[in-house]
Amino acid sequence: MKTVIYSKFSNERARKFSIRTDICQEGECRWVEKVANTQEALPHVEGILRWRRELEQKFADRRIAFNQCEKIEKGVKLAYVQAENLEEYLDERLDGGRADEAYEALMAYVRFLQETHSETEFVETAQFEQVFGKVKFPQKLRCGLVSDIDLVCANLLLTDPVTVIDYEWTFDFPIPGNYLAYRALHYYLETHSKRQVLKNREPYRQ
């Protein structure tokens, strides 16, 4: 019999993005379900299936997998994967006094994000403005053809191949590759004071 052992309601969002995320268990088996809280949110949550296909294709030669996903009523079912993530890997190096190693690994990931999201020149679109607002940009930014903006360190599990566990926030309109790099840096560096030692090296400037 299925038991829900954890549930998170993302109902602070607009209705078209309002979903519930459950961790479910039956016997020794665990999995994750993302289901729509509203009728308007169905296209958003069911779109996760499409994003997995497109992202798998984009990263086919990069030894990166995207969490298994299948359709269920009002949403999708994803694998429950347990492994060390990149955030934990970096923290272990910091805790062990290996700040140089942590910094090199973090910046290597940032450069990877920039490289893999530079297929074409960025242009602002109505879709971009609808999601992100009206923003002023420098000239000649590069972007990817499809972008999972939540490729933060905590979402990258160091399995073989590496597994991205959450790709709900994926878009197929131009988004600057540097924005993905910024988010990876921001959500690692700004969420724990011990990471200040890396921030002092001015990774944003690099």
Predicted confidence at residue 41, as pLDDT, reads 95
Residue-by-residue pLDDT tens, the chain, 206 positions:
889 999 999 888 889 999 999 999 999 999 999 999 999 999 999 999 999 999 999 999 998 999 999 999 999 999 999 999 999 999 999 999 999 999 999 999 999 999 999 999 999 999 999 999 999 988 899 999 999 999 999 999 999 999 999 999 999 999 999 999 999 999 999 999 999 999 999 999 98
Predicted confidence at residue 197, as pLDDT, reads 96
Q: Name the pTM for this structure.
A: 0.92
Measure the CA–CA gap between 46 and 33, rounded to whole angstroms. Answer: 11
Predicted confidence at residue 1, as pLDDT, reads 84
